[in-house]
Amino acid sequence: MAGSSAPLRRLGAELRRLREAAGRTQSDVGAAIGRTHATMVNWESGKTKISKSDLVCLLAELRAPAEVRKGLEQLRDQAGRGASPWAVYGLPEWLRPLVSFEEDATTVTTFEPVLIPGLLQTEDYARALHAAGRHKVAAGFVDKWIAARMQRQQRLSGPKPLRLHAVISEAAVRLQVGGPKVFADQLRRLLDAGRADNITVQVLAATKDGYGGVGSNFTVLHFLDARIDPPLGYFDGPLGGHMVSDEGDVVTLVNMFDDLRHMALSEADSAEMLAAILDQQQRKGAAHA
């Protein structure tokens, strides 16, 4: 789904719903309007944009009500309205779908076994991660990517803030990235974030058995109407990130997160652990001053 956008995905989901409600198959409808099965699949998955004339023909074939046609035509227009505001940040192609869908998400759940989640990173912590990487990118791109990460965090505030539930392994909150000061500021950021009504931060203690099989980070994005916008998964690694749209795979990620949040420390106990680690860092810093 690397080429998808949030409006295209919503349009595709609605086209699929209309077709299924009519009891038609993709091949059947495609043949009726002179398009291949593969084209229908790409339209319904949001991978390619349907032309205005094809949309008119498709909606006529499915006998969509006038008000439904108008709404879907507007959604198609929205999908082609100018360049993405994220284009100025020069984000890698594999990251663009995530930031696009993140804008429309209402809730994000995320598990991080090694690092602090991007939506909760301080600017200095994020910069230190790039500086420590073996395969460094040009400084100009680093600045843009960090600016994009800080911009993404704006979703966590405002009148309709994104709800974020992060489960972070104890290893991640003890891994000193960027030196004592940067690390201490990052711990304070986590503590502050956990006090917000829309943000939940839990730490998965290193002594907790049962999560060793979860060897990767992963995120699930939830949207306002799951019938139109079903949840999406995402995970990344050294070679880039991948969106997960298969319904069964996304359900697996949802269940994995549910297990992890139940294994993790409570919000209060997590905050207590973070405060204790911060105190240890401050004591070390004072001893070496």
Q: By residue range, what is the domain housing residue 36?
A: 6-79
Find, among 232, 210, 203, the residue nearest to 219 by Cα. Answer: 232
- If you average pLDDT over each of 4-8, 12-16, 19-23, 161-165, which comes out highest? 161-165
Distance CA 232, CA 98 (A): 9
Burial 254-279 (b: 16+ CB within 10 A, else e): eebbeebbebbbebeebbebbeebbe
pLDDT computed for residue 87 by the predictor: 77
Co-location of 153 and 97 in the same domain: yes
> How is 83-123 classified by DSSP, letter by letter?
--GGGGGT--TTTHHHHHHHHH-SEEEEEESSS--GGG--H
The per-residue pLDDT of the chain, averaged, comes to 89
What's the full length of the chain, in residues?
289
Co-location of 236 and 190 in the same domain: yes
* Number of domains within the chain: 2
- Provide the pairing of β-strand 199-204 with 163-169: parallel
Co-location of 70 and 90 in the same domain: no
For the segment 170-191, the average pLDDT, to the nearest whole number, is: 95
Q: Is the dihedral of CA 154, 204, 171, 255 positive or negative?
A: negative
Find, among 129, 193, 192, the residue nearest to 166 by Cα. Answer: 193
Q: Both ends of the chain: CA-CA distance in Å?
A: 51
For the sheet with 107-112, list strands across it: 199-204, 163-169, 107-112, 218-222, 232-237, 240-244
Alpha helix (H) ranges present in 22-138? 26-32, 37-45, 52-61, 66-79, 96-104, 123-132
In a domain, 1, yes or no: no
Largest CA distance in the chain: 77
Residue pLDDT, tens place only, 90-148: 888 888 888 888 888 999 999 999 999 999 999 999 999 988 775 667 777 899 999 99
pLDDT computed for residue 136 by the predictor: 63
The helix (H) or strand (E) run that includes residue 154 is: none
Co-location of 42 and 97 in the same domain: no
Co-location of 75 and 91 in the same domain: no
As given in the structure block, the two tokens for residue 91 are 């984000």
Find, among 101, 94, 227, the residue nearest to 155 by Cα. Answer: 101
In a domain, 62, yes or no: yes
* CATH number of domain containing 166: 3.30.870
**pLDDT interval class at 3 (50, 70, 90):** very low
As given in the structure block, the two tokens for residue 115 are 């690092």
Co-location of 242 and 265 in the same domain: yes
Q: What is the CA radius of gyration of the chain?
A: 22
Domain closes at, from 79, 98, 126: 79
pTM of structure: 0.79
Co-location of 111 and 73 in the same domain: no
pLDDT computed for residue 153 by the predictor: 97
In a domain, 40, yes or no: yes
